[in-house]
A and B are shown apart, each in its own frame.
Chain A
C-alpha cells in the first residue's frame, strides 16, 4: 500500500511569489495535516482537514491556506512568500477520531527555498 505522497519534492521560489504544495493521503485516511519544519526545529502544525472541513489551525498568517478535495487529497497554498517561509513542508494523514488521530503517517515532505 502506498504511503503519503507529496509533490513536488523540491521547489525554489522568489520573494512575493505564490506556491502550491500537494499531498495524497494513505488510502482510507480521511484526515490530512500540514506542518512546517525549519532547520533545527521540530515540525510546527499549520492545518488539519477532515472531510474537506478545516478542523484545526496553527499560529500561521493568513498567507497560508489549504483545502481538501473529495478524494481526501490536499493542497497547501502560501501567498506572498517571504524568505522565512523556506522550510520543509510535511503532510500527514490519519484516521480521524479522538486519540487515534494522533497516529499520523508523514510523507517525505516538500523542501521549499525562497530566494
Chain B
C-alpha cells in the first residue's frame, strides 16, 4: 500500500480556507486518494476521494497534482466545528483503509 505523509498539526483562522497537504509519492496509477476526518471521541467521517481529477462536494475540495504524488484537501470556509484530525489515505488493491496519524487541524476564533 502506498504510504502517505501529512504534517502533524496545522492552525487556521475561522472563516478562512484550510489547506491540508498530503504526500503520496509511491501511489500507483489505479489507487484512489481518500480523506477522512475524526472529531474528538467520534468515529471517522468520510470527506471526499479522487483518482486524477480535482473533486468537490458540499464539504470540501480535493486537488490532486498532475503526477498524483501529492494532494491538498481544501475546506473553503473553516468553522470551529472543523477542528479535527484529518487523514489522507491511499486505498490499496485490497480495498482496506490504512490510517496514519493524520493532521490535527485547529480552527481558531
Q: Which residues of A contact B (CB under 8 A)?
A: 4, 33, 35, 41-45, 48, 56, 58, 90, 92, 98-99, 101-109
Contacts and interface: CB of A to CB of B under 8 A. Distances in A.
Contact of B44 (A41, A44, A90, A98): A90
Interface stretch (B9-17, B19-27, B65-73, B87-95): B87-95
Majority secondary structure, B binding face: loop
A45 B98 contact: yes
Contact of A106 (B45, B85, B94, B100): B45
Contact of A41 (B46, B94, B95, B101): B101
A102 B97 contact: yes
A23 to B, nearest CB: 11
Interface of B: 32, 34, 42-46, 49, 51, 85, 87, 89, 91, 94-102
Contacts of B85: 42
A42 B96 contact: no
Contacts of A4: 43
A42 B31 CA distance: 20
